[in-house]
Chain A
Amino acid sequence: MKNFKTLRFLDFFRGLFERFGINYTAMRKILTVKLTMDGRRTPTIFNQQAKKKKKPEENGFIKSLGMYVLLSLMLIPFVVLEHSLLYQMSIFYGIVMFLVMTSMISDFSNVLLDVRDKGILLTKPVDKKTLNVAKTVHICIYLVFLTVALTAIPIVIGTFRHGILFLLLSIISLILVNLFIVVLTAIIYYFILRFFDGEKLKDIINYVQIGLSISIAVGYQVLARAFSFVDMKITFTPSWWQFFIPPIWFGAPFEIFLKQHSDVYLVSFSLLALVIPIVSIIIYTRMMPSFERNLQKLTNNSGGSKRRERTWKNGLLKVICRNNEERIFFRFADHMMRNEREFRLKVYPALGLSLVFPFIFLFNEIQMNSYAHMVSSKWYLSIYFSCLMIPNAITMLKYSGKYKGAWIYQTAPIQNLAPFYSSVLKVFIVNLFLPVYIVLSAIFIALFGGEIIDDLLVLFVTAILYTVICSNYLKGTLPFSESFEDALQSGGLKVILASLCIAAFTGIHFAVTFIPYGVPIYLILLVAVTIFAWKLAYKTVWNFK
């Protein structure tokens, strides 16, 4: 294990830790082990092979900091402009808090919620206090990296703009913000664990992770426009409800010290910014023992969960799955895709993006021309962007966090696995594509009017055909049979090719709209081709044993 630079830096504070009765040597060892493990977040057999290739150990989190540096550019306008410093800094802290908080929940929950620590470390001569401090320091190390990546550039620019006092205020309030967030997250977990079981908490964390990936992706889109919509002139009138908005607390000191502008509201906001983090830490240390106790809920899942019967799905099952084998696999794939968190994490962000993407292009069009112009144009075809998630989602179908369970397909007496593929793809269409399609269709009909219904039907059939085409990516592997570790982060060339394919479909559709009765005829042709393709794939691509 290497001697981490961060820990060598931490050595300067050795005396401080020891003064609080912490066994620094033990804490440092725990941190070394934790940081080493963070660099190897891939605990599978495949990693052993990767190690032979002498792949340097790298920390995924440190690598992802670059993205945050890019996002930090979005914050620059808020520190440069000078309409209302309070307003701007509040937005600044609002964004910082949002990003740090979501990252805290998605990346560090496992640190806060690690139940192994207790069994492994507390049975050794390590006291609880040292372990808890080690956990907190572990999180803080990353939060410091994250905060620096996110705010360094804006703060340097702001310091040039507003002077050295700005730098000082920023550093103090960022430290307070981070403390506040760590404690707030722990308190939120505490209450979730108190009233729900561990599975619920894992679900909530999962959805936060999904939300974070969506908002970062959307953030990139907004980035380009950030400069255009902050030049609005907003005058800030203090009122009571602002006491409930933490970013405003942290924005207030800037108005007081840099603008020499103070009133009762601003002073009380600033006091809150100072007092609340400190108070919450005191509450946190008091709550720690009972938090630990509730943590045990993560391991023992007492209390049976209720089984939800979905009658509509059973009805659907009878219609879309012809034979019994398909129905069995449909039910199985439905349960797998709904319950597997890792799968949701890989696929749902793309799903969210496919909801958002069509509108980004519509907004562009509205900005360039006018709403009335857009509505009468053929921009509704931008709905085809929602199909971009299909290749990505389908490549994910072969992975599972519990891929080792796949032996069941080999030992069970199954003649042919084609029904498995066809039902997995049906589940994909019903569970994942259909909701997106319905939401988008409803909005598009509201925007463009009822005459685009046949176009939307074309889109739906195209999506099914496209699914069949993309199912080539599954060829040779069974669904849910490989580890996510093997999944390349970006599908690379394959996904690009698939995207070109959807561009071709859009082009054909666009051309067809110029022919009288083109769209209905195209729809009928498409249905025929899709049925043929499905049957062909059933016999060839999916025929696997």
Chain B
Amino acid sequence: MTINEVVLSIKDLEKHYGVKNVLKGINLTVYRGQIIGYIGPNGAGKSTTIKILLGLEGDYYGKVEIFGEEVTETNIDYKRKIGYVPEIADLYDNLTAMEYLTFVGELYGMDFQAVDEKAQRLMKVFGLEDVYHSRIASYSKGMRQKVLIISSLLHNPDLLFLDEPLSGLDANSVMIFKEILAILAAQGKTIFYSSHIMDVVEKISNRIILINDGKIVADGTFNELKEQNKEGTLEQIFNQLTGFNEYRVLAEEFVSIVQEV
């Protein structure tokens, strides 16, 4: 196994919704063990890219390969090695965590007993062993998020897609999860991390990709980006590259409207 093994490659990816061009030619090669911070403003095309990679959206132009297999709507085998935490906590919440997690595990072809045991142990690590047999509907936001994280990792995937995975987690859980990601990456797992929280992306990613208006506008390590853009934090680089510099004006306008009463 070489370090430079290609896990994911995207060539000239374009996607149109009607007349609207959402992705305008994305080129990207991801190697094994990388933690990619995938960032961009709302509506830049982040979610669309992830949906295409997961095979949820067809009808695109270009070539997308994961583990050397072409991604199409009919090819489902590559999904066995993928884990996914969606941005919106969509899950069947009338089920208990035990029922949901075993169901997901079984869909990945795992044995019921094995998933059950594994899920229970993972829940315990997150401090959720008491609610393992309670319905997810009764969980708090952070607890749901932990269930989603567990469900994405049950089958020991080689490639992880995380869309805002920290939402609702408390500071301690965030620490655990960031450490989990670091260990997984060190073991050769590849992580595709999409978020709006720049501090976290800055700290955990070893490669940052900034997408704006359907195109990649920056690609490199945080230090590389810093050198190119002469800015101190990822947040500032983000503002600069997306051409957004009127935040002060807008904030002032907002407050002045508030004060009118």
Measuring CB to CB, which residues of chain A are less than 8 angstroms from any residue of chain B? 1, 26, 29, 32-33, 36-37, 40-45, 47-48, 51, 116, 118-128
Chain A residues contacting B29 (CB-CB under 8 Å) are: none
| Contact of A125 with B107 at beta-carbon distance under 8 Å, contacts A36-B99, A37-B92, A37-B95 already known | yes
Evaluate contact between A125 and B77: CB separation under 8 angstroms: yes
B29 to chain A, nearest CB (A): 23
From B83-91, B183-191, B253-261, give the one contacting chain A: B83-91
Size of the B side of the interface (Cβ < 8 Å), in residues, is 30
Evaluate contact between A124 and B79: CB separation under 8 angstroms: yes
Of B82, B92, B95, the contact of A123 (CB 8 Å cutoff) = B82
The distance in angstroms between the C-alpha atoms of A51 and B103, with both chains bound, is: 21
B110 to chain A, nearest CB (A): 11
The distance in angstroms between the C-alpha atoms of A126 and B88, with both chains bound, is: 20
B170 to chain A, nearest CB (A): 21
- Considering only residues 66-85 of chain B, those with a C-beta below 8 Å from chain A are 73-74, 76-77, 79-80, 82, 84
Evaluate contact between A125 and B138: CB separation under 8 angstroms: no
Of B73, B90, B95, B138, the contact of A119 (CB 8 Å cutoff) = B90
Chain B residues contacting A44 (CB-CB under 8 Å) are: 137
Evaluate contact between B80 and A29: CB separation under 8 angstroms: no
| Contact of A122 with B95 at beta-carbon distance under 8 Å, contacts A29-B106, A43-B135, A127-B74 already known | no
Contact of B54 with A by CB under 8 A: yes
B116 to chain A, nearest CB (A): 12
Evaluate contact between A123 and B84: CB separation under 8 angstroms: yes
Chain B residues contacting A120 (CB-CB under 8 Å) are: 90-92
Chain A residues contacting B104 (CB-CB under 8 Å) are: 124
The distance in angstroms between the C-alpha atoms of A126 and B107, with both chains bound, is: 7
Among residues of A, the one whose C-beta sits closest to the C-beta of B77 is A125
Contact of B28 with A by CB under 8 A: no
The distance in angstroms between the C-alpha atoms of A29 and B135, with both chains bound, is: 18
The distance in angstroms between the C-alpha atoms of A45 and B143, with both chains bound, is: 14
- 21 A-B residue contacts at CB 8 Å? A1-B99, A29-B103, A33-B95, A33-B99, A33-B103, A36-B95, A47-B135, A48-B135, A116-B90, A118-B56, A120-B90, A121-B107, A122-B56, A123-B79, A124-B79, A124-B104, A124-B107, A125-B79, A125-B109, A126-B107, A127-B74
The distance in angstroms between the C-alpha atoms of A41 and B137, with both chains bound, is: 11
6 nearest interchain CB pairs?
Answer: A43-B137, A124-B107, A125-B79, A40-B94, A37-B94, A123-B84
A366 to chain B, nearest CB (A): 50
The distance in angstroms between the C-alpha atoms of A120 and B148, with both chains bound, is: 10
The distance in angstroms between the C-alpha atoms of A120 and B103, with both chains bound, is: 11
The distance in angstroms between the C-alpha atoms of A44 and B54, with both chains bound, is: 31
B231 to chain A, nearest CB (A): 34
Chain A residues contacting B92 (CB-CB under 8 Å) are: 33, 37, 116, 120
The distance in angstroms between the C-alpha atoms of A125 and B106, with both chains bound, is: 10
Chain A residues contacting B54 (CB-CB under 8 Å) are: 122-123
Q: Give the one of B77, B92, B104 with max A CB within 10 A.
A: B92
A253 to chain B, nearest CB (A): 40
Q: Does more than half of chain B's interface fall in helix, strand or loop, or is it mixed?
A: loop
Q: Does more than half of chain A's interface fall in helix, strand or loop, or is it mixed?
A: helix
Chain B residues contacting A33 (CB-CB under 8 Å) are: 92, 95, 99, 103
Known: A40-B135, A119-B86, A127-B74. 15 other contacts (CB 8 A): A1-B99, A26-B107, A29-B103, A29-B106, A33-B92, A33-B99, A43-B93, A44-B137, A45-B138, A47-B135, A119-B56, A120-B90, A125-B76, A125-B108, A128-B73
Chain A residues contacting B93 (CB-CB under 8 Å) are: 43
What does the 1/0 interface line of B231-245 toward A look like (CB < 8 Å)? 000000000000000
The distance in angstroms between the C-alpha atoms of A26 and B76, with both chains bound, is: 13
Q: Give the one of A36, A37, A120, A128 with max B CB within 10 A.
A: A120
A199 to chain B, nearest CB (A): 18
Evaluate contact between B56 and A29: CB separation under 8 angstroms: no
Evaluate contact between B108 and A124: CB separation under 8 angstroms: yes
The distance in angstroms between the C-alpha atoms of A125 and B84, with both chains bound, is: 12
Among residues of B, the one whose C-beta sits closest to the C-beta of A32 is B103
Chain B residues contacting A47 (CB-CB under 8 Å) are: 135, 137-138
Q: Give the one of A37, A48, A124 with max B CB within 10 A.
A: A124
The distance in angstroms between the C-alpha atoms of A41 and B92, with both chains bound, is: 11
B156 to chain A, nearest CB (A): 14
Chain B residues contacting A118 (CB-CB under 8 Å) are: 56
Contact of B134 with A by CB under 8 A: yes
The distance in angstroms between the C-alpha atoms of A1 and B94, with both chains bound, is: 12
Contact of B55 with A by CB under 8 A: yes
The distance in angstroms between the C-alpha atoms of A43 and B92, with both chains bound, is: 10
The distance in angstroms between the C-alpha atoms of A48 and B84, with both chains bound, is: 28
Chain B residues contacting A1 (CB-CB under 8 Å) are: 99
- Considering only residues 163-211 of chain B, those with a C-beta below 8 Å from chain A are none
Among residues of B, the one whose C-beta sits closest to the C-beta of A129 is B74
A413 to chain B, nearest CB (A): 14
Evaluate contact between A126 and B90: CB separation under 8 angstroms: no
A408 to chain B, nearest CB (A): 19
B130 to chain A, nearest CB (A): 13
The distance in angstroms between the C-alpha atoms of A128 and B73, with both chains bound, is: 8
A98 to chain B, nearest CB (A): 31
| Contact of A45 with B103 at beta-carbon distance under 8 Å, contacts A116-B92, A119-B90 already known | no
